Structure 1
Amino acid sequence: MDTYMTDEEMIRQYLPHNTTQCFETLYNRYVNKVYHRCLQMTKDSDKAEDFTQDIFIKVFGKLEGFQQRSSFSTWLYSISYNYCADQLRLAKRFSTTQLEESHESTTYEDSMETQLREESYQVMQQVIGTLSPQERTILRLKYEDGLSIDEIAQLYDLKISAVKMRLKRSRAKVQQLCVQRFVD
């Protein structure tokens, strides 16, 4: 197989007739990038390895449906991000770990500060939960994953100005909802 072909050319030419070789080449090109993406999100090498394998199984199951509206790498990155985010969300929801009790003595001020911080965090999580999936995703890509506006624009095939406006509106919405929650 010609390893100098673009991903899209390889998919068009080899997928119908030489599926295994096509999958193998794409896997070898992207396995490390997907693994590092998963590791960045999970902070756990075992989970990152498992997620990487799951992602490639999912991608190869959907490869015939790849419509080339974006590059293969962008499509793969989007699937990787969404898969990891979904798995982490599920893990949080069904977490069975118990919090360790702190045996340190704290002053009244420290405990009040901690309580305020926890309440603020809970309000923020509730507010973010009320956003649309698109609003949550764009905020997470920018502020949790550290993607640049250019990268987000390329990922969603948007203009840079559109990404900036969506970020601005989402931040304003979060701020407004937080203020409402604290006032109520």
Structure 2
Amino acid sequence: MKQLSDEELVRLYVETQRNQYFEALYVRYCDKVYRKCLSFTKDPAKAEDFTHDIFLKLITKLGGFKEQAKFSTWLFSVTYNYCTDHTRVRRGGEVLADNMELLPDYGDSDEAEVAEMEAAGLRKAMDRLNADERSLLMMKYQDDFSIRDIADMSNITESAVKMRLKRAKDKLRKHYLEGIVMWLLLALKYITTKWPLRF
């Protein structure tokens, strides 16, 4: 089984309906799908449920895999769509990926503390985006999907992907900056209340 490509396993499963081929795909991708679901839900139990549902759904969808993209890209498309649909209902949750490259790298502890504050601000800004915008940013900056892959997965043109990405980034930046301003105002209010200025 190990020497068979994903696409060969899909073909063999569709042709023979033998569970061993599907199980091989499951073993290869279960953990990756779970981690992706966890990045959406931030709840291990819910992420397990999502993963289970996605693989159940996959059994019926494998016949529709046309090999226009790699199987892994197609599977992540199914995963993103499922997670987006099921997290669209609730408007919150920390959905920032741990390795999203939108923050600078800091070295010493003081700077690491600043980075932690920036990460928290970015998480809050991400929470204010809708599920589609969060998915788009995660596909591009966490999973490093190409514009073309995202376009194929979303059934839209590459220029539409670029436009939506720009809008989502602009919105993220706006929410992030609003959060910083709010934090500064609260800090200023606290400081002036605690130590009023005397003239």
What TM-score results when the alignment is normalised by the length of structure 2? 0.55
Q: Which residue pairs with 2:5 in the alignment?
A: 6
Corresponding letter in the other structure for 2:87: L
Aligned letter for 1:147?
K
Q: Provide the rounded CA distance (Å) in 2 between the counterparts of 1:166 and 1:78.
A: 17
Q: Which amino acid aligns with 2:88?
A: R
The answer for the alignment partner of 2:166 in structure 1 is 168
Partner-residue secondary structure (3-state), 1:16: helix
Q: How many residues align?
A: 135
Rate the CA distance shift 1:15–1:89 in 2: closer, same or farther, 3 A: same
Residue 57 in structure 1 maps to residue 60 in structure 2: no
Give the corresponding residue for 1:104: none
Matched, 1:156 2:151: yes
Asked if 2 retains the 8 angstrom alpha-carbon contact of 1:41 and 1:84, the reply is yes
Report the Cα distance in structure 1 between the residues aligned to 2:64 and 2:139, rounded to whole angstroms: 29
User: Of residues 116, 140, 145 in structure 2, which corresponds to 1:147?
Assistant: 140
Aligned to 1:77: 76
**Partner residue of 1:36?**
35
Deviation at 1:21, TM superposition (A): 1.1
* CA-atom RMSD in angstroms: 3.4
CA distance in 1, matches of 2:63, 2:162: 33
| Structure 2 alignment gaps of length 5 or more | 93-124, 173-199
Secondary structure at the counterpart of residue 16 of structure 2: coil
| Contact 1:42/1:48 (<8 A) preserved | yes
Q: What's the offset of the Cα at 1:41?
A: 0.7
CA distance in 2, matches of 1:61, 1:146: 24
Preserved contact between residue 152 and residue 163 of structure 1 (Cα < 8 Å): no
The CA distance in 1 between the partners of 2:145 and 2:157, in whole Å, is 11
TM-score by length of 1: 0.59
Is contact 1:74-1:155 (8 Å) kept?
Answer: no
Q: Distance in 2 between matches of 1:58 and 1:36?
A: 18
Counterpart AA for 1:35: Y
What is the CA-CA distance between 1:25 and the residue it aligns to? Answer: 0.6
Per-residue deviation, 1:45: 0.2
